Amino acid sequence: MDHKKAAAAVLAHIGGSENVISAAHCATRLRLVIADNGKVDKPAIEDIDGVQGVFEAQGQLQIIFGTGTVDRVYDAFIALSGAAAVSKDEAKAQGAQKGNWFQRAIKTLGDIFVPIIPAIVASGFLMGLMESIKFMVNNGFLTLDSTSSLFKFADLFSNVAYVFLPILIAFSAAKVFGGNPFLGAVIGMIMLHPDLQNAWTVATEGVHAYQDVFFGLYQVPLVGYQGHVIPVIIAVWVMCQIEKRLHQIVPPMFDLFVTPLVSVFVTGYLTLAAIGPVFTTVENFVIDGVQWLIAIPFGIGSFLMGGLYATTVVSGIHHMYTIIDLGQLSAYGVTHWLPLASAANVAQGGAALAVALKTRDKKLKSMALPASLSAFMGITEPAIFGVNLRFFRPFIAGAIGGACGALYASLVGLGATGTGVTGIFGILLHLHHPVQYILTVAIAAGVAFAVSWVIGIPEERPAATPAPPPAAQPAPQPAAKPASQLHVAHETATIVAPLTGTAVPLVETGDPAFSAEALGKGIAIRPLEGKVVAPCAAEVTVVMGHAVGLLCDNGAELLIHVGIDTVELEGAHYTSHVVPGQRVQTGDLLLDFDMAAIEKAGYRTITPVVVTNSDDFAAIEHARGAVTAGQSALLELTR
């Protein structure tokens, strides 16, 4: 391809040089921070030679070119545009500053809650399981010794993340706000102090005691903040502001004990005296308002929210919904919001599935099918941004399906015992009412599929019959391939695992580009150790800290991408043992990585292994389950 021409086309369709704030790239994507996204013509960019996908994330316009190409397009783009060439971290920071205060606030909420979702999910799953077991025992469907240690301990563990939720939120919020996370955790502990009345007893027992504050100005109830979210976030934000200012003015020799002491004491007093009571009222108003909406007769409110939910995903507002889920769990024991979200998510998957089965466009089909499966798992970005929103009609079909599924969930009073998981696996949060949940997602996906199938996509046309070549001209002969490449029809080749771990579908990466197979077909590995070896005899084409590109002797072009969004680490925690142009044999060490350090930094180490020239093969089959680096067959390629 002509890299300069591709760069010029990108520049033309994003509004020109004056609309570019900065540019960066990773192993596969050109990452642009744009001044005015309204000037970007995404469909035109998708049609540029070499572009494999376009989407927005982290305030950046990300254009997928693939390994071995993106760096050359990037160089040409910088030369043509004169844009500032920045690091990935700088691009991310610039992207984060885009948008109004509300958009930045929503993103901050997402940054706070995403790291603690695993803990919330674990408790939610266990709570659902225990509720189901208790139901079956109490109704005679199951005989079980409820006095056993296994049952007692499981019941004890099931709600622990919700009991101590303010501590988890406080620790995470302090990291996001730039403060000491352990001091943040102390603020969370203050709000749960055992000398305060447990908040969950107020409804039945009333408030036990009040305390004068600000020298008798007024009284506040001495009640804890179990189950609360907004007061914790505000309190930790105040603590971080105090801490950062004290670091600037307190002499270094006193900073170690003066700053923590003053930060915690002042924030603790303000929290119990003002921040907690005020923002608890605000939070209760939000939760009551949502509950009022959901409780509108005949499910009308839920129908509207189920239809609008996908639109809020596009705008990023959905990051605040964790607050609603947690608030409802605290107030009612279940969240009625999560079933609405689940219906909306699987509906987008149903709409994308209809596109995949109906379209004649092979490229669109290869993108829509895995994107729909991803949405059924609760990860909707590939389906929404890669397929449905691109053609709009499937997006509307998904909204209609989501509304219908949410309507049914509201009519039967469906609630989830936890949050953080939607789609197929969301049934684990609805084990107390599994049939109602199955019907909810079935209605949502079924209606969306049917509507999407009927209204189709705007670009869909009957496939044209190609004209036969003139009889007088001999058919062109294929160019000779190097002996090292596959050239015999139906010849197969095997790619062994480059890492030891568990092979899983690409949709489990959660990354829109990998999930939609925009970079090619393949598999992902959840690693058990931090070593990557050559999966075949090959030439190294790309070495970029977290990623390695290979041109295999069997004709496959491979990308091994260690971790998701790990480009932001700028090579930290990775050690490369090869350079571009180097020859390697199966089992040769390519790179080491520190799994613990990467995960501590907040990144997942799940590793996509992608055949970037997938179109050169008739079939690509992959293994599942446990694999061993350099030994287990991972991919089977058929020319």
558's CB contacts (< 8 A; 6+ apart) are 495, 535, 536, 538, 549, 550, 552, 609, 610, 611, 612
Distance CA 463, CA 458 (A): 14
| Amino acid residing at 242 | I
Pick the catalytic residue: 26, 240, 536, 552?
Answer: 26
Residues sharing a CB contact under 8 Å with residue 260, sequence separation 6 or more, in sequence order: 180, 183, 243
Annotated active-site residue 561? The verdict is yes
Cα four-point dihedral sign 337, 340, 344, 349: positive
What is the SS3 string spanning 186-242? HHHHHCCCCCCECHHHHHHHCCCCEEEECCCCEEEECECCCCCCHHHHHHHHHHHHH
Tokens 């790239």 belong to 25
Distance CA 560, CA 543 (A): 10
Can you tell me the distance from the alpha carbon of 395 to that of 121, in angstroms, rounded to the nearest whole number? 28
3-state secondary structure of 590: strand
Catalytic status, residue 240: no
Beta carbons within 10 angstroms of residue 466's beta carbon: 6
E-only strand ranges, 152-192: none
Q: How far apart are the first and last CA of the chain?
A: 23
Joined together, the tokens standing for residue 441 give 């997602």
Taking the C-alpha atoms of residue 131 and residue 129, their distance in angstroms, rounded to an integer, is 5
CA distances from 443 to 355, 379, 547 (A): 18, 19, 41
- Between helices 393-411 and 337-358, what is the axis angle to 10°? 140
Question: Between β-strands 84-85 and 20-25, what pairing exists: parallel, antiparallel or unpaired?
Answer: parallel
82: left (phi over 0), alpha (psi -120 to 50) or beta: left
Token reading at 7: 């760069």
Catalytic residue chosen out of the listed positions 13, 319, 561, 573: 561
Give catalytic residue positions: 26, 561
